[in-house]
């Protein structure tokens, strides 16, 4: 599941996104063609990294987003992100996983087993 933060503005307002990117120190800016002939082209600022959200997006929004419909949308998004991370913890920074067989501390090859235990179970 992806929790991407996006801000889309008219292409003429791109300098505002550049300032936001500079202030946060994260994210990317890209151009999006209009979906209809009479619409203006857009510039989009996007952050997709969970760590970037934790370090920059969430503190920024908590501090500066005023009470409004967007604040309610942000609160729901943040709650969904917290729930997703609670249900799907990652092992980043915790080292390699260890074999599920008792007294075996070798790294996992697949299915929670080290190479030798994996070969014994699967025959491959």
pLDDT in tens, 70-120: 999 999 989 988 888 888 777 665 667 888 898 998 988 888 899 999 998
pLDDT band at 122 (very low <50, low <70, confident <90, very high): confident
Most confident of 1-10, 47-56, 97-106: 97-106
- The whole model's pTM is what? 0.59
Residue 92 confidence (pLDDT): 65
Evaluate whether 59 touches 51 at the Cβ level (below 8 Å).
Answer: no
Residue 117 confidence (pLDDT): 92
Residue 2 confidence (pLDDT): 60
Q: How far apart are CA 15 and CA 58, in angstroms?
A: 22
Beta bridge partners of 44: 8, 30
Q: How far apart are CA 27 and CA 63, in angstroms?
A: 19
Pairing, β 5-10 against β 42-47: antiparallel
Residue 62 confidence (pLDDT): 92
Residue 48 confidence (pLDDT): 83
pLDDT band at 57 (very low <50, low <70, confident <90, very high): confident
Question: Who has greater pLDDT, 26 or 3?
Answer: 26
- Indicate the helix (H) or strand (E) that contains 45: strand 42-47
Q: What is the DSSP string of 98-112?
A: B-SSTT--SBP-BTT
Does position 11 have pLDDT exceeding 90, yes or no?
no
């Amino acid at each position: 599941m992806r929790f991407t933060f996006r801000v889309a503005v008219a292409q003429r307002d791109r300098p505002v996104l550049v300032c936001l990117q500079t202030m946060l120190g994260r994210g990317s800016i890209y151009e999006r063609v209009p979906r209809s002939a009479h619409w203006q082209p857009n510039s989009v600022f996007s952050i997709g990294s969970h760590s970037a959200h934790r370090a920059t997006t969430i503190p920024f929004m908590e501090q500066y987003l005023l009470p409004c419909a967007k604040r309610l949308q942000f609160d729901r998004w943040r709650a969904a992100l917290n729930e997703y991370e609670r249900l799907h913890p990652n092992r980043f920074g915790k080292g390699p996983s260890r074999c599920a067989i008792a007294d075996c501390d070798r790294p996992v090859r697949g299915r929670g087993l080290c190479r030798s235990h994996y070969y014994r179970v699967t025959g491959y």
